[in-house]
Amino acid sequence: MKARIVVLGGDGIGPEVTAEAVRALNAIAKQFGHAFEYSEYPIGGISIDTTGSALTDQTLNACKSSDAVLLGAVGGPKWDDPNAKVRPEQGLLGLRKGLGLYANLRPVKTYQSLLEISPLKSERLKDVDVLVVRELTGGLYFGEPRVRERVNGYVRAVDTLVYHDYEIERVVKLAFELSRGRRKKVTSVDKANVLESSRLWRQTANTVKEKHPDIALDHMLVDTAAMRLISSPANFDVLVTENMFGDILTDEASMLAGSMGMLPSASLGDGGPGVYEPIHGSAPDIAGKGIANPVGAILSAALLLRYSLKLENEARAIESAVETAIARGARSADLGGTLTTRHMTDEIISHIR
Ligand code: IPM
Ligand code: MG
């Protein structure tokens, strides 16, 4: 198979980890006889510095005409001024919206040999395998109006939490479909005891459930879900929720795996290229040191193979290579080890079969 992959390294450790994901993809291409072609474009802070915009038309158009996009991370202290007109994160949000990527898949799995590095008790972490499906193009992140204004001598800021039924329906439907290949249990997370948008979310989820009689659906309030992710994480199969709740819950859930550095994500829409990125940020404190954990990016490359290129065996080959490497003791700094980004990748690649 031939595929054109756009690589958006972005800021901080972003380019370091996407480079390793590309090496893993090349190992797969060699092993399985594929031809992957890469082209790099700027996004985020680096794009602001060179073009004045966090996401240029050139970058967005390149992504639109690709088969898939591999992304590193955006942001950093250099661009953090709250009064700045342009911010790196606008690049990421613009990309999600521009490609219509309404579903963000964030699988969280624990590795037996990493249980003790999690801040949580090992016995609670056994058999944890949660797929969080986060809505990605609605809610507070995109709602209008969004203003800062002076009213009666006070400064007032407004963000808007808005959802249409069709936005809820398509992402919940995807969660149901994904759970069919798993344990057939969807937990829809909302704040229906307070928010109108959450009541619509809950009703819409129930409507979708009617068309999926073989899948169990339960509803959970977001505060309860935050607690249950810590107290009984193994009980979750697929968790589907709105944009902001999903953002918060997935950082929390990453601690089940021991390190943010371990977790991949896939952002998908209806057809068109998906965007694949680790869930960690640009980690400016360790940028340039060559010690970032490449696993999140490499597992994102596995998701790219699975969802955009439909290469399931190749995706599994990466995932089991990561498992073997971890089981045999490969550890980057965040996992309490000493392997550099590059050596960690070498270990993983050596187990690709
Ligand atoms: C994430 C990040 C982004 C988000 C930021 C960088 C805008 O935290 O992908 O989870 O909030 O969606
Ligand atoms: Mg986040």
Please state, in angstroms and rounded to a whole number, the distance separating the CA atoms of residues 90 and 99: 14
Q: For residue 258, what pLDDT is reported?
A: 87
Candidates 47, 144, 51, 137; CA nearest to 99 is 137
Please state, in angstroms and rounded to a whole number, the distance separating the CA atoms of residues 247 and 328: 32
CATH (domain of 290) = 3.40.718.10
Residue where a domain stops, chosen among 227, 257, 287: 257
Tell me the two tokens of residue 27.
């190992």
Q: For residue 267, what pLDDT is reported?
A: 98
Q: Answer yes or no: is 110 within a domain.
A: no
The answer for residues whose C-beta is within 8 angstroms of residue 237's C-beta and 6 or more apart is: 129, 130, 131, 179, 182, 183, 184, 185, 186, 187
Q: In Å, what is the CA distance from 324 to each residue of 216, 278, 348? A: 33, 20, 8
Q: For residue 349, what pLDDT is reported?
A: 98
**Same domain, yes or no: 161 and 95:** no
What is the domain count for the chain? 2
**Same domain, yes or no: 157 and 57:** no
Q: How far is the CA of 328 from the centre of ligand 2 (A)?
A: 30
Residue where a domain stops, chosen among 239, 257, 275: 257
**Same domain, yes or no: 145 and 237:** yes
Q: How far is the CA of 268 from the centre of ligand 2 (A)?
A: 17
For residue 218, what are the domain limits? 119-257
Please state, in angstroms and rounded to a whole number, the distance separating the CA atoms of residues 294 and 14: 10
- Percentages helix, strand, coil for the chain, rounded to the nearest 5? 45, 20, 30
DSSP 156-178: EEEEE----HHHHHHHHHHHHHH
Mean pLDDT by 10 residues, the chain (353 residues): 98 98 98 98 98 98 98 97 94 98 97 92 94 98 98 98 98 98 98 98 98 98 98 97 97 92 97 96 97 98 98 98 98 97 98 96
**Same domain, yes or no: 253 and 266:** no
Q: Answer yes or no: is 172 within a domain.
A: yes
**Same domain, yes or no: 201 and 288:** no
**Same domain, yes or no: 213 and 332:** no
Q: Answer yes or no: is 53 within a domain.
A: yes
The residues annotated as belonging to the active site are 141, 191, 223, 247, 251
**Identity at 209, one-letter amino acid code:** K
**Same domain, yes or no: 26 and 125:** no
Residue where a domain stops, chosen among 209, 228, 257: 257
Q: For residue 45, what pLDDT is reported?
A: 98
Is 92 touching ligand 1 by the criterion CB < 6 Å? yes
Tell me the two tokens of residue 353.
């079969």
Is 247 touching ligand 1 by the criterion CB < 6 Å? yes
**Same domain, yes or no: 23 and 34:** yes
The protein residue whose alpha carbon is closest to atom 11 in ligand 1 is: 247
Q: Answer yes or no: is 226 within a domain.
A: yes
**Same domain, yes or no: 230 and 130:** yes
Is 73 touching ligand 1 by the criterion CB < 6 Å? no
The protein residue whose alpha carbon is closest to atom 6 in ligand 1 is: 89
Please state, in angstroms and rounded to a whole number, the distance separating the CA atoms of residues 215 and 185: 6
**Same domain, yes or no: 252 and 315:** no
